[in-house]
Structure 1
Amino acid sequence: MGLGLLYAKAGLTAFLRHGGDLPSATRSADVVVDREHLAAYNAVCGFRIGETLPVTYPHVLGFPLQLELMTDRAFPFALPGLVHLGNRIAQARPVAVEEPLALHVSTGNLRPHDRGTQFDVVTTAAVAGEVVWTGTSTYLKREGGSGSSSSATPPPAPTGVWRVPADTGRRYARVSGDRNPIHLHPVTAKAFGFPRAIAHGMWTKARCLAAFEGRLPDAFEVDVRFKAPVLLPATVDFSTDGSTFALHHPKTGKPHLTGTLTA
């Protein structure tokens, strides 16, 4: 089933989902990287063209499997309204563009959150039986509650200032397949309570990691938490001390994203 049909299915079946346990079903596929698609992804996210994959790219390769699993009849939560809280990627070694990948997607770790229920979607990429990449996306199913409040701290001085065009959501949707309406147009975003379209969380993560290109170790872990959405168009402040990084709103100082890098 195409991604567009899966999104339609998610909307049409949302009222049938009432919580419960996560299914034990998984999804798997063997993929070969399309260099033209990779080049388009690199252009949108700010990566250079090279012979190894950007660390965030396997997430895009696995996204159709993730969406298929999360729109399955057995999945307990409606896809519209889920909040992407964070994403952790562990790369065991650089992945060459020409290496065929065996992808596997599962869900698990259902647990309480102070604003509802959270769970993980785990994607692995293996080469000849060796897992070389693992991505864990954490999602929230909101069920009331305002969450714990925290005192604001002054943001660090920016090391870069980025302008994010209004069409960033649409451009990233074309290369990622993630066509959630909140990212595409102000009109569709307003239907879900946003004043304007918002940038994909995984685009913000990829854009931050593009700023480290050429300085990352072969094996590392990068963990980000998605905070306030980036309303498009936007100007954002990027800051890093080498092991942590963040995106902040330049006027309010509120964080859009915080992340850590661990070798």
Structure 2
Amino acid sequence: MTTTRELQSIPKAAPLYGRAALPMIPFASRLPFVAGSTTEIPDVELVVPEVRVDPKNLAAYREITGFLNAGRLPVTYGFALAFPLHMALMTGGDFPFPAVGLVHLRNRIVQHRPIAPDEVLSVRVHADPLQPHPKGRTFLVHTELRVGDEAVWTCASTFFKRGGGAASAATAAPDPIDAVPVDLDALTTTQWELPDDLGRRFARVGGDINPIHLHPLTAKAFGFPRHIAHGMWTKARSLAAIEDLLPDAFAVEVRFQKPVLLPATVEFGSATADDGRVGFALRDARGQVPHLRGLVSPA
């Protein structure tokens, strides 16, 4: 049976990352309040019943991602709003492994209708049980935004935990994200120059202050040659680039590929199918490293 835990407000991100670092201390996972002492995802839903968007944070989010329509929330903003709840779930003592080291593989958002910036939202977050993967395990974190009893926005994020993989989990099924081909070599593309401080700036407005995004030294501690851009920034910036093509109700799913090492020059392109679906892709400017592939499907 699902346990519902109601919070009065969205928690602050910084203390949660402090908790996320605790399992890195030897034997700390034996403590009951530190993640890593269980084997299964807890059947828990975190709920904040009344959330109002901070206009200053929203303006800063629009500025760094490129969304222009001031009459509605950017489609990816709900993830930034709810991300501290993801961290609260994944840093609890009943979570099976540390949040540090998890990889965000995919993200699917369904916008059921535009959300006005002044609407009062309830935010709900829960995670599905672990699933096998050839190189480890995956799980989904679900987020729902409601206005009253109406679900206006939902999101499913696929996270990957390396280790203990099952070869039998491999599948050759085609990825629906590739349903609309995006040949960047044949398209007119746009280049973006990503500055060294992009990760730090987006962390301030997006809630994700993971050290891999903040500075070369902190990123190297986790095996990266330099700090990397947030995957959800690449999704947000890509959707902002095709904002005029987005209908009122739609689904958008992305597959995160190779990380973007900062600073960087990247190349973006999109293609529209006859049925209204829009495929899009992001790669490095030399055309050698794929960073993101996505698909917008009208509802």
Q: Same fold (TM over 0.5)?
A: yes
What is the total number of aligned residue pairs between the two structures?
261
Query: What is the match of residue 7 of structure 2?
Result: none
- How many angstroms does 1:244 deviate by? 0.7
Q: Which one has the largest radius of gyration?
A: 2
What is the correspondence of 1:68-107 to structure 2 with a 5 Å cutoff? 68-107=88-127
For 2:20, which of 10, 34, 39 is the aligned residue? 10
- How many angstroms does 1:159 deviate by? 1.8
SS at match of 1:188: helix
User: Are positions 1:50 and 2:66 aligned together?
Assistant: no
Query: What is the match of residue 174 of structure 1?
Result: 204
Whole-Å separation in 2 of the counterparts to 1:241 and 1:154? 6
- How many angstroms does 1:2 deviate by? 3.1
Query: What is the match of residue 27 of structure 1?
Result: 46
User: Are positions 1:184 and 2:219 aligned together?
Assistant: no
TM-score (norm 1): 0.93
Q: Is contact 1:155–1:253 with CA below 8 Å preserved after alignment?
A: no
Q: Is contact 2:137–2:164 with CA below 8 Å preserved after alignment?
A: no
SS at match of 1:161: strand
Whole-Å separation in 1 of the counterparts to 2:39 and 2:166? 22
Find runs of 4+ consecutive structure 1 residues off by over 3 angstroms. 144-148
Query: What is the match of residue 138 of structure 2?
Result: 118
Whole-Å separation in 2 of the counterparts to 1:81 and 1:228? 16
**For each residue in 1:179-218, what CA deviation from the matched residue of structure 2 results, as whole angstroms up to 9, or x when unmatched?**
0000000000000111110000000000000001122111
Whole-Å separation in 1 of the counterparts to 2:59 and 2:147? 22
SS at match of 1:88: strand
- How many angstroms does 1:249 deviate by? 1.6
Whole-Å separation in 1 of the counterparts to 2:189 and 2:284? 13
Whole-Å separation in 1 of the counterparts to 2:109 and 2:137? 22
- How many angstroms does 1:33 deviate by? 1.0
Q: Is contact 1:224–1:257 with CA below 8 Å preserved after alignment?
A: yes
Q: Is contact 1:196–1:231 with CA below 8 Å preserved after alignment?
A: yes
User: Are positions 1:160 and 2:190 aligned together?
Assistant: yes
Q: Which amino acid aligns with 1:251?
A: R
Query: What is the match of residue 236 of structure 1?
Result: 266
User: Are positions 1:143 and 2:163 aligned together?
Assistant: yes
Q: Is contact 1:154–1:253 with CA below 8 Å preserved after alignment?
A: no
Query: What is the match of residue 254 of structure 1?
Result: 289
Whole-Å separation in 1 of the counterparts to 2:279 and 2:37? 38
Q: Is contact 2:40–2:129 with CA below 8 Å preserved after alignment?
A: no
Q: Is contact 1:87–1:225 with CA below 8 Å preserved after alignment?
A: yes
Whole-Å separation in 1 of the counterparts to 2:182 and 2:242? 23
Q: Which amino acid aligns with 2:86?
A: Q
- How many angstroms does 1:26 deviate by? 1.4
Quick check: 249-258 or 73-82, which moved more?
Answer: 249-258
**For each residue in 1:73-94, what CA deviation from the matched residue of structure 2 results, as whole angstroms up to 9, or x when unmatched?**
1011211110010100001000
TM-score (norm 2): 0.83
Q: Which amino acid aligns with 1:166?
A: D
Two-structure CA RMSD over aligned residues (Å): 2.2
Q: Is contact 2:109–2:251 with CA below 8 Å preserved after alignment?
A: yes
SS at match of 1:172: helix
Whole-Å separation in 1 of the counterparts to 2:287 and 2:190? 16
Query: What is the match of residue 226 of structure 1?
Result: 256
